């Protein structure tokens, strides 16, 4: 990749992307369109989950097909606490992150003992285990899900209750998460993950065990996805087992691939593109995936590096 292409992909594109997202509330207020504000808020929430998956997939080559489990765990943590009349965000959000992190630690410790398709299948199995556990929680709605009668509270502020304030909260979380993961990816920790992706044998030869690094990265990604789940529960004011389904995991995976693996902000672009196309195409037909599927194939075949590759005309060495 040339210096100009690198600067464009890794500096200009994310700046433009976040600048446009920051202007959405102003556009919604100008056009008096509340729907666009709520819709893009949903995009940003799922973008947080997509960025967390891109961290372990694009950098660490861990193809998790159960990533939505952490999204659902974070959402259910908020929903169950709200059902117990605990609305304080400073309680529910740390609980959501902690539970997701613990689940990632336990399942990751087992899953990361495997490689390739076996890793994919075992993460899928753990994800479905969480899904069926949620459907069995009849006290919290079971298959029908759980309705939240209000959003979380942050002391006496309207941070969650006001749509615009909540949008900027989610936007700020997405920005902070992206910057944090970029810092981690550029650190020694990130270099070990990239090295393990290329050759584990070489790392073992110099006395580095990549397992611990991969497990730590897996837990970090799970905690961030749990945070996204807590935000999703507030955004939709509803919690459902569908948040944990393998279909949702597949959608998040598609967002990452569509935007461009390994760039982190590419996952955000992928989330914007995927959900926008879903909204537009579903307005024409309920079989919108029949149209979206071939479009995705074209991007994969002709856009090396996903949408980021298409934007800059493909990588050139």
CATH of domain 3-311: 1.10.3470
Q: What is the DSSP letter of 242?
A: G
Give the predicted TM-score (pTM) of the model. 0.93
Rounded to the nearest angstrom, the gap between the alpha carbon of residue 57 and the centroid of all alpha carbons in its chain is 12
State residue 205's pLDDT score: 81
CA nearest to 232, candidates 220, 247, 248: 248
CA atoms of 211 and 183, how far apart (whole Å): 20
C-alpha angle 278-280-283 in degrees, rounded to nearest 5: 100
> What residue spans define the domains of the chain?
3-311
State residue 315's pLDDT score: 45
3-class state of residue 305 by DSSP: coil
State residue 316's pLDDT score: 42
CA atoms of 239 and 131, how far apart (whole Å): 12
CA nearest to 82, candidates 163, 156, 153, 162: 153
Average pLDDT of adjacent 10-residue blocks, the chain of 317 residues: 56 89 95 93 96 93 92 96 93 97 96 91 94 92 90 87 94 96 92 86 83 94 97 95 92 91 89 92 84 82 75 52
State residue 313's pLDDT score: 59
Give 15-53 as a DSSP string: HHHHHHHHTHHHHHHHHT-HHHHHHHHHHHHHHHHHHHH
Rounded to the nearest angstrom, the gap between the alpha carbon of residue 184 and the centroid of all alpha carbons in its chain is 17
């Amino acid at each position: 990749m040339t210096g100009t292409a690198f600067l464009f992909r890794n500096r200009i594109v994310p700046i433009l992307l976040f600048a446009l997202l920051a202007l959405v509330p102003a556009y919604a207020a100008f056009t008096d369109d509340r729907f666009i504000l709520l819709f893009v808020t949903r995009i940003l929430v799922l973008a947080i989950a997509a960025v967390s998956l891109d961290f372990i997939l694009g950098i660490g080559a861990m193809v998790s097909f159960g990533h939505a489990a952490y999204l659902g765990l974070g959402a259910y943590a908020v929903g169950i606490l709200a059902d117990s009349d605990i609305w304080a965000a400073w309680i529910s959000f740390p609980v959501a992150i902690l539970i997701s992190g613990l689940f990632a630690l336990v399942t990751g410790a087992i899953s990361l003992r495997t490689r390739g398709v076996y890793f994919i299948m075992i993460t899928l199995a753990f994800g479905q285990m969480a899904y069926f556990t949620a459907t069995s929680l009849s006290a919290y709605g079971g298959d029908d899900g759980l309705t939240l009668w209000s959003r979380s509270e942050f002391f006496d502020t309207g941070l969650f209750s006001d749509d615009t304030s909540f949008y900027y909260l989610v936007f700020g979380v997405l920005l902070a998460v992206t910057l944090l993961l970029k810092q981690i990816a550029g650190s020694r920790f990130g270099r070990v993950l990239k090295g393990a992706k290329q050759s584990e044998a070489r790392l073992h030869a110099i006395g580095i065990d990549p397992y611990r690094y991969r497990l730590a990265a897996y837990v970090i990604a799970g905690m961030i996805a749990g945070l996204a789940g807590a935000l999703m529960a507030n955004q939709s004011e509803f919690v459902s087992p569908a948040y944990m389904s393998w279909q949702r995991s597949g959608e998040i995976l598609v967002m990452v691939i569509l935007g461009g693996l390994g760039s982190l902000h590419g996952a955000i672009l992928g989330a914007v593109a995927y959900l926008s196309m879903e909204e537009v195409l579903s307005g024409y037909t309920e079989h919108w995936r029949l149209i979206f599927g071939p479009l995705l194939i074209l991007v994969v075949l002709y856009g090396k590096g996903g949408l980021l590759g298409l934007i800059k005309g493909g990588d050139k060495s």
